[in-house]
Chains A and B, each alone.
Chain A
């Protein structure tokens, strides 16, 4: 693994920490995982399209699509956005509020069923 090209030691210094320039040391995790996740995302999209044409529209089919969407989101955030290599506290800070979004969407989908009927 090639070392980071570093002309300025201060940017990584944790003792004389300067938040305006400080960046952590980075290292590559290779490209194998990236391409694996590409094929997985492509496969999930193909599964989406297959369900779309094979299964007639229903709430069960909608749930399958949403579940596959969440699986795709996990791979994009985890691998492409590097989240699985971040510290747990940092990942939690971003991911936990996103749980409210999933809850809110599901809630409003059911709520919309009653509009105009009462």
Chain B
């Protein structure tokens, strides 16, 4: 090929793309690199501030089980028994019918009881960073299956992770369909990606509702140091807004594709570029999940 010799003789001399990427895609990657620095500084600040406090885990180890039991904390095998759903149901909703309604009030009882007890014993205090185990342990109820009042750490956020990974898969399938110039398949997979994005945002909204409902604000919270809630709102809020922006971009791409914009243009690279952004949002979530919920 004649074009090959020209490209080889002057790879960096201008008049071609040395990296064989379009201008738009190159710039998307450069933007994502800068955004990776932004999120890493947020997570770095979180790690540094968190590790300047002692954690509830070490605090719980230092307190004798006998003292905790005397303070009214349910114990099992020398450790705090967090599966105290039964205690809660008996204590606050003796009427079984009232419990199955699982309205906002039943849940407020759980939050008040748990958070209050933890505060009374000094496990939740401004001098200990709360273990995510003790804060994000809720799961919403669905009709007959009621998870309210149960200690289920990590389960809800694992579901959110699954939703985001799945929406990343549907996005990459849309990109793959674009590479084959299959307009209908692009539409189908973009629609699934948009649905996944809304599902994740809905979960995020529920998570925030629980957190705020327990009394957390930007400058104070019942779980631990004020910076705990400030960083939670800051980092998950910043990530959530990225997800929201991603959903808006995905909708624009979906509508453009329906109108045949990319078919006329002759390539579906816009799907790929927005896809890069969407995968980046998933990538950031991997680390938010790691640093906020797992560690």
Residue positions of A touching B, CB distance < 8 A: 2, 4-8, 11, 14-15, 17, 19-20, 22-24, 26-31, 34-35, 38, 41-42, 45, 48-49, 52-53, 57, 61-62, 65-66, 68-69, 72-73, 76-77, 79-82, 86-87, 89-90, 93-94, 97-98, 101, 104-105, 108-116
Contact = CB atoms under 8 A, between A and B. Distances in A.
A62 B267 contact: no
B160 to A, nearest CB: 11
B264 A45 contact: no
A112 B51 contact: yes
Interface in B28-84: 29, 32-33, 36-37, 40, 43-45, 47-53, 55, 57
B181 interface: yes
B246 to A, nearest CB: 14
Chain B: number of interface residues, binned into ranges: 35 or more
Interface stretch (B103-111, B115-123, B164-172): B164-172
Interface string B14-40: 011111111100100100110011001
Contacts of A31: 173, 176
A52 B154 contact: yes
Contact of B40 (A53, A76, A105): A105
A76 B168 contact: yes
B143 interface: no
Contact of A57 (B131, B175, B269, B286): B131
B176 A23 contact: no
Contacts of A68: 290
Q: Which of B172, B276, B283 has the most CB of A within 10 A?
A: B172
Given A52-B294, A112-B47, A11 B283 contact: no
B269 A23 contact: yes
A111 B21 CA distance: 40
Cβ-closest 5 pairs across A and B: A112-B51, A115-B52, A112-B48, A5-B181, A90-B19
A94 B26 CA distance: 10
A94 B37 CA distance: 12
A84 to B, nearest CB: 13
13 contacts: A4-B181, A7-B264, A19-B17, A49-B158, A52-B154, A66-B290, A72-B286, A80-B172, A80-B282, A89-B18, A94-B29, A111-B48, A112-B51
Contacts of B32: 94
Tell me what chain B mostly uses at the interface: helix, strand, loop, or mixed.
Answer: helix
Given A22-B17, A76-B283, A108 B158 contact: no
A105 B62 CA distance: 29
Contacts of B207: none
A62 B7 CA distance: 48
Contact of A2 (B52, B180, B275): B180
Contact of B52 (A22, A81, A94, A112): A112
Given A34-B173, A41-B165, A24 B47 contact: no
Contact of A112 (B15, B49, B172): B49
B287 A69 contact: yes
B19 A86 contact: yes
A68 B161 CA distance: 14
Contacts of B158: 45, 49
A77 B161 CA distance: 17
B267 A11 contact: yes
Given A19-B17, A81-B276, A87-B19, A65 B47 contact: no
Contacts of A62: 295
